[in-house]
Amino acid sequence: MNILILGAGGREHTFAWKLKQSPKLNNLFVAPGNAGTAEIAKNIPIGVNDFEAIKELVLSEAINMVVVGPEDPLVNGVHDFFLNDAAIKHIPVIGPEKAAAELEGSKDFAKQFMMRHNIPTAAYESFTKDNLEEGYAFLESLKAPYVLKADGLAAGKGVLILQDLQEAKDELKEMLVGAKFGNASTTVVIEEFLDGIELSVFVLTDGENYKVLPTAKDYKRIGEGDTGLNTGGMGAISPVPFADDVFMTKIHDRVVKPTVEGLKKDNLPYKGFIFIGLIKVANEPLVIEYNVRMGDPETEVVLPRVKNDLVEVFEAVAAQKLNEIDLQLDDRTATTVMTVSGGYPEAYEKGKEITGIENVSNESIVFQAGTTLKDGKVVTNGGRVLAVTSFGTNFKEALKTSYKNLDNIAFEGVYYRKDLGFDL
Ligand code: AMP
Ligand code: GLY
């Protein structure tokens, strides 16, 4: 098998690391990739949304499968692009078709899907600039805090949680009339605020069958104690200790099963990962959001716990034979700690040399994210720079190993959270 991974983050480095372990793998390509993927695969400098260039690459390198990391190309229809082109339609793409990717591409679509299939979620209404006044009235009917969500993709920045009613009204107007998030906020979902603890569950489906992958908890805020600005994710833990068997059964029966069945009923073709963001309120799981891909940095703790040959698993997804796979998981806890550039998630500098990766012991795995090669050296190239994953009998043990190995790694301005798991 020759496989192409689309993307450039820690998630894609983890996919590459895992696929590389398969005896079925021949050549591995990552577009565009980072300094980490360059060590184990061939990086190709093309963008994830440049479908024509991807097609040329697939044909010239005899690629047999495409694994899509981020949501953008899925929402833009990369899977459909393959299916609609006679030269490449036989090549499996791991990731949903455009119609199904709307589960992440449109929050309003996702809410309607959940309502239609009785999947528990926060009460909501959607508004456009034509019914702004009704939006104000809906806000008045709710209690603080107020949750406003841009309908479309907004690079993880489209959700506002506001304490003050007037501020919420002003922001609603700014989103709808002022196009605060461009076209993404042409429609805004206003939601009831849910107070609870969050976790994510990952599902891999072939459209007919599915496997529930390990749970994970991500730490999104930049500051310790979950304070400060939102980031792409500062670290993750898998499994989530409070997701016991009773709670997992609820998640399965009320959320996972109706989601996969709902996709089928609605004719939404799905061969790929479903990332279900959940919140536990009074012992019940409610869905906060769907993503149509794996999470980052959740992938860095979920995939290392999957013992199966990932090429075989993806082949089963493509052939719609996922029922034939016996998913084997590592019982240990995995944690990952993300190091970021000083200043992130606001302005930060790039191009800082990263030293000491080679001194990390084999108890930990370094997954690179915002890195690149410059004059033969690994340098920073993004806000989130690299994640250090370790195993342990519990999350504290695993974290201890990650933090110990992090002491070896240095770059100017390096920052990471030292309190992961503080809320567990
Ligand atoms: P989303 O992009 O939908 O995942 O929202 C980003 C974050 O906002 C979530 O991870 C939650 O922390 C928070 N959030 C979203 N919706 C709600 C809600 N209805 N109640 C409380 N917090 C929410
Ligand atoms: N870690 C959150 C995400 O991947 O969206």
How does DSSP classify residue 196? S
CA of 295, nearest ligand number: 2
d(CA 362, CA 36): 16
Please report, in angstroms and rounded to a whole number, the separation of the first and last CA atoms in the chain.
41
Ligand 1 mean position, distance from CA 118 (Å):
19
- Concatenate the DSSP letters of all residues of 379-407 into one string: EE-SSEEEEEEEEESSHHHHHHHHHHHHT
Nearest CA to ligand 1 atom 14: 288
d(CA 220, CA 63): 35
Closest alpha carbon to 353 in 412, 408, 287 = 412
Length of the chain equals 424
CB of 214 closer than 8 Å to CB of 310: no
- Collapsing DSSP to helix, strand or coil, 195 comes out as coil
d(CA 280, CA 283): 6
Q: What is the pLDDT of residue 178?
A: 87
* Most informative mutation of 279, 290, 291, 293 for ligand 1 (most atoms within 8 A of CB): 279
CB of 154 closer than 8 Å to CB of 185: yes
Q: What is the pLDDT of residue 206?
A: 98
Q: What is the pLDDT of residue 387?
A: 98
d(CA 144, CA 167): 11
Q: What is the pLDDT of residue 156?
A: 75
Q: What is the pLDDT of residue 117?
A: 98
* Most informative mutation of 298, 300, 337 for ligand 2 (most atoms within 8 A of CB): 298
CA distances from 69 to 14, 72, 273, 299, 306 (A): 10, 9, 10, 10, 17
Which residues on neighbouring strands pair with residue 379, listed in sequence order?
Answer: 353, 372
pLDDT averaged per 10 residues in sequence order, the chain, 424 residues: 98 98 98 98 98 98 98 98 98 98 97 98 95 94 94 88 94 91 92 95 97 96 94 96 96 98 97 98 96 98 98 98 98 98 95 96 96 96 97 97 96 97 92
Phi, psi of 373, rounded to the nearest 5 degrees: -100, 130
Q: What is the pLDDT of residue 157?
A: 82
- Does ligand 2 come within 6 angstroms of the Cβ of 95? no
- Does ligand 2 come within 6 angstroms of the Cβ of 158? no
- Does ligand 2 come within 6 angstroms of the Cβ of 191? no
Residue 82, amino acid: F
Buried b (16+ CB within 10 A) or exposed e, 1-38: bebbbbbbbbbbbbbbbbbbebeebeebbbbbbbbbbb
CA of 110, nearest ligand number: 1
CB of 345 closer than 8 Å to CB of 2: no
CA distances from 18 to 24, 123, 142 (A): 12, 39, 46
| 46-50: long-range pairs with CB below 8 Å, 24+ | 48/6, 48/7, 48/8, 48/72, 48/73, 48/78, 49/73, 49/76, 49/78
Q: Pairing state of beta strands 284-291 and 377-380?
A: unpaired
